[in-house]
Structure 1
Amino acid sequence: MLLDLAKLTLNLTPDSLALRLVDALASRTQRPPLDQVQRDAINQAQPLRYGTLASHTAWCWGEGPLVLLVHGWNGRAAQMAPLASHIAEQGYRAVALDITGHGDSPGARTQWQFFRSDLLQLLRALEQDIHTLIGHSAGALAMMAARYTGEVEASRYACICAPSHPFPPIEVIRRKLAPRPAVIQRYQALIAEQLGASWDDMQAGAFYRGLSEKTLLIYDQDDRIVSHQEGDKLSGLMPTAQLLKTQGYGHTRILTAAEVKAALTEFVSA
């Protein structure tokens, strides 16, 4: 009923108002429940407050060089917690944050710009150089955008199910709301502004250019949200990057895969 009403409204309103409606609907977030493995891993962590008035939450495991983990859209730090706990056991300080509108951080909505700004606010609170950045899906894309704009720098980058550019939300909006092409173009421009590059540059893979063998790309062949062929595309831009493909996990369960844990451990420690 809500989607039908939204479709009708989009067809009857000017492009500027239609854009506001699309953005309002697309920015709503959901918080997935924790399973027992995630809960156990989070319980091992030390909560860390960051952001304006210390309103946001991150989780810290261990001591040593900093490994920062960024969840995806509609994800939460707890999804990265088992990986973070395992990495900390190898002698690292692993930190996973809840972005605005996710996990234990405030808000019922989020924006692409929050992924960038929250990451920067956390880094100011940590006061430590980044050894490795690990991101999942939208979190990976946003952290690479922050690298592209010069806001973030790490020795190593690991991208799990990372889209080359922010096409997944566009596909969802087209499928569910069917807005006019002009509204889609405006929404693409809005996302591009928040991520710090033009849509054409993002589509060409600008966020991933200029990286070397200190980059790990991980995709699952059964992912229905971000195709594993995105890994092939990005490998073409970074011929020396490592590419790992799994099978049978999909977009989120890949974070629990034993081969992913092993690959990340080797990559971080190499």
Structure 2
Amino acid sequence: MSEKIYFNTSQKFSVKKSLINLTTRLHHTIAPKHAEKTARKLLLTPARAKPKNAEPTGLVKGEVQSKEGTLKTYALGEGPVWVLAHGWSGSASQFYPLMQHIASKGFTALAYDHPGHGQSGGVYGHIPAFVHGLEAILDSVDEVAGLVAHSMGSASSIECHHQKLVGKPFLLIAPVLDYLENLFGSVARSGYSMKLFNAVVSEIEEQYRYPIQSVDPYNKLTLRSAATIIVHDEGDKFAKFSVSERAASEMDKVKLVATQGQGHGRVMKCSEVMQSFDELIAN
């Protein structure tokens, strides 16, 4: 259900939306604790995506322990490590075509399933969990050459302050740079009670000591000193192309590569992504 909420872009009035608003507000009024428990399950549980692509020959599977549970890893190639972080309700398998390209260039492509995603442990998914997961992956390797991230994985990667990412190039695919606006807007469009949603957010903030208002990938991207290339489809329905366009115009270290007809997911294995990776390693 959470995927239907976060990937809902309809602005139209609907009876279903009105009923969702009424029932969730009533539930929260009558039984607040039960409503919050239900909301956590509904809003923070990502879909366990099935593999999107065939496993490449030579793929090495492993595990890394994190604060959020066991994370499944997928490595391909030899050489300096590029870490790949997928987005909400995604999985590492979405990166298999790009991992093959990275490996062919003399690097190790190391992808992983975020907490609560793919084959990894954990139940819930949110920015603090994504950041903890990425930190564990980075701790598991000696050095990192760069990072590739998609959608919400881009937001959490920019949020991550791990030393091994300092000064390293980023390839961001369909990034959600306006994370808070995107998140709250998606929930509001679904008709879900914003009061109930805020209660769930507050609980996560307290548990992780991670104020949601501190999540600001757009402005934190301005502070990065290394090169960043954004590959974003002009018709992306889930992450605003205009925000990536603005970032490229305002930030000296950020370049935008626009695509057409690739959407939010297919763009991960388009030729522009492969070419952008080649540009980053050349420079």
Question: C-alpha offsets along residues 182-231 of structure 1, whole Å, 9 cap, x if unaligned?
Answer: 445555666777695652x5458332121246111121001000021011
Superposition deviation, residue 170 in structure 1: 2.2
Matched, 1:112 2:143: no
1 CA distance for matches of 2:81 and 2:222? Answer: 24
Asked if the contact 1:10/1:179 (under 8 Å) is kept, the reply is yes
Which deviates the most, 23-32 or 218-227?
A: 23-32
Asked if the contact 2:167/2:226 (under 8 Å) is kept, the reply is no
2:183 match: secondary structure = helix
1:242 match: secondary structure = strand
Unaligned 5+ residue runs, structure 1? none
Give matches, 1:23-102, under 5 Å: 23-35=40-52, 38-41=53-56, 43-52=57-66, 55-102=70-117
2 CA distance for matches of 1:221 and 1:239? Answer: 21
Unaligned 5+ residue runs, structure 2? 2-15
What one-letter code is carried by the residue in structure 1 that aligns with 2:140? A
Asked if the contact 1:75/1:103 (under 8 Å) is kept, the reply is yes
Superposition deviation, residue 100 in structure 1: 1.3
| Alignment partner, residue 24 of structure 2 | 9
Inter-CA distance 204–157: structure 2 relative to 1 (3 Å threshold): closer
Asked if the contact 1:72/1:136 (under 8 Å) is kept, the reply is yes
Sequence identity (%): 21
| Alignment partner, residue 192 of structure 2 | 178
Normalised by the length of structure 1, the TM-score is 0.83
Give matches, 1:233-244, under 5 Å: 233-244=246-257
Inter-CA distance 205–259: structure 2 relative to 1 (3 Å threshold): closer
Matched, 1:266 2:274: no
**Aligned-residue RMSD, C-alpha:** 3.1
2 CA distance for matches of 1:81 and 1:115? Answer: 20
Inter-CA distance 97–195: structure 2 relative to 1 (3 Å threshold): farther
2 CA distance for matches of 1:213 and 1:124? Answer: 21
1 CA distance for matches of 2:152 and 2:199? Answer: 20
Inter-CA distance 203–49: structure 2 relative to 1 (3 Å threshold): closer
Number of aligned residue pairs: 263
Asked if the contact 2:173/2:231 (under 8 Å) is kept, the reply is yes
Asked if the contact 1:145/1:196 (under 8 Å) is kept, the reply is no
2 CA distance for matches of 1:125 and 1:143? Answer: 16
Matched, 1:221 2:238: no
Asked if the contact 2:20/2:192 (under 8 Å) is kept, the reply is no
Give matches, 1:140-219, under 5 Å: 140-147=154-161, 152-166=165-179, 167-180=181-194, 182-183=195-196, 185=198, 196=210, 199=213, 202=215, 205-212=218-225, 214-219=227-232
| Alignment partner, residue 5 of structure 2 | none
1 CA distance for matches of 2:230 and 2:102? Answer: 17
